[in-house]
């Protein structure tokens, strides 16, 4: 890390990544709903319109398919578009340009043409957002060949992965969670990249591996702190990227600890946790002392009531209970 670092909120780390990449490369532009608003996309677009003007910071009508299609088309033509969806739920309207076009373009052109577009979806869990405004849909896109999917959890990674996503010559889904936006961390002033497809060990441990992404990394770390007080040493892995996936980091950790708990902010059935569990059982089954455990949302839509949200969303206590069950198996 550079010696010139300072504390920066997650949302402002994304903002800095956009400022610096747009300054360094005139082909980069931002398009989406609410990008001219000081608050609609959580301060991530602060100052961009004033600095770069409406030709490079394009506030669109409410048409997810059209704005994503425009971003994909511009990227095919030589630009580097960042298209933001303030609620990832409504990216569903843009399945055609994302999946049929962007994901397949490189393959269908025999590697002679690519789509350097960043499709940025924001999850709005909690806050009484209810079933249509709070869904974590990243696994849908991770299922598709030709798409990369990153899920940062810290301000440092938010900036570095946004920069890496913009510079990548193929389509990248940058998925973040609005509940992370106020989290602060050390962020270098200079332009830098965090490699796509490389996870990181956030805490070393010897008894059990907890793997998580996005906001659940912080919940996993809190859980590991409490487990340590009870004599359980938990290793916490932040994947940072769902596709490509750092299989080596994950499998090596489980081979050492022999136990695995997966914390995923999506639903259980056919989810990220299911994929990671299958992978580990295929690769390092002989090293496992107990079956992997999944900590996920229940297979029901999100409630609107704040009281029901307390029961619906998962966190530190759910992870801790699962670790204890795995340790006793």
Enumerate the active-site residues: 64, 133
**23, 204, 257, 325 from 329: Cα distances, Å:** 55, 22, 14, 6
- Dist CA 237 CA 202 (whole Å): 6
For the chain, the first-to-last Cα distance in angstroms comes to: 41
Find all residues with CB under 8 Å of 92, minimum gap 6, and list them: 64, 137
The DSSP call for residue 199 is -
3-state secondary structure of 210: strand
Residue 261's nearest CA partner among 244, 239, 246, 276 is 276
Contact of 113 with 106, CB cutoff 8 Å: yes
**7, 142, 218, 249, 297 from 201: Cα distances, Å:** 21, 22, 13, 8, 24
- Dist CA 237 CA 149 (whole Å): 17
Length of the chain: 329
């Amino acid at each position: 890390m550079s010696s010139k670092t300072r504390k920066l909120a997650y949302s402002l780390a994304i903002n800095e990544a956009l400022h610096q990449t747009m300054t360094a490369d005139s082909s980069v532009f931002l398009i989406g709903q609410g990008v001219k608003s000081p608050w609609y996309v959580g301060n991530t677009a602060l100052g961009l319109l004033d600095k770069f003007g409406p030709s490079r910071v394009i506030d669109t009508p409410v048409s997810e398919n059209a704005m994503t299609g425009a971003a994909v088309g511009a990227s095919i033509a030589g630009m580097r578009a960042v298209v933001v969806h303030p609620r990832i739920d409504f990216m569903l309207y843009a399945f055609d340009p994302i999946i049929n076009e962007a994901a397949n373009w490189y393959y269908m052109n025999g590697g002679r043409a690519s789509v350097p577009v960043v499709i940025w979806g924001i999850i709005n869990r909690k806050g009484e957002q209810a079933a249509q405004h709070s869904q974590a849909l990243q696994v849908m896109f991770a299922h598709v060949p030709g798409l990369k999917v990153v899920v940062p959890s810290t301000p440092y990674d938010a900036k570095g992965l946004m920069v890496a996503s913009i510079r990548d010559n193929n389509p990248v889904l940058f998925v973040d969670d609005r509940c992370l936006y106020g989290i602060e961390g050390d962020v270098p002033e200079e332009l830098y990249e965090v490699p796509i497809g490389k996870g990181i060990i956030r805490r070393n441990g010897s008894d059990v591996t907890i793997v998580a992404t996005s906001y659940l990394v912080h919940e996993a770390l809190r859980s590991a702190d409490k487990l340590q007080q009870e004599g359980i040493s938990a290793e916490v892995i932040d994947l940072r990227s769902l596709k490509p996936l750092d299989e080596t980091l994950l499998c090596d950790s489980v081979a050492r600890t022999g136990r695995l708990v997966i914390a995923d902010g999506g639903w259980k059935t056919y989810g990220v946790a299911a994929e990671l569990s299958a992978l580990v059982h295929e690769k390092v089954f002989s090293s496992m002392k107990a079956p992997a455990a999944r900590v996920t949302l229940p297979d029901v839509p999100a409630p609107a009531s704040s009281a029901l949200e307390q029961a619906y969303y998962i966190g530190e206590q759910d992870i801790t209970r699962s670790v204890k069950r795995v340790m006793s198996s």
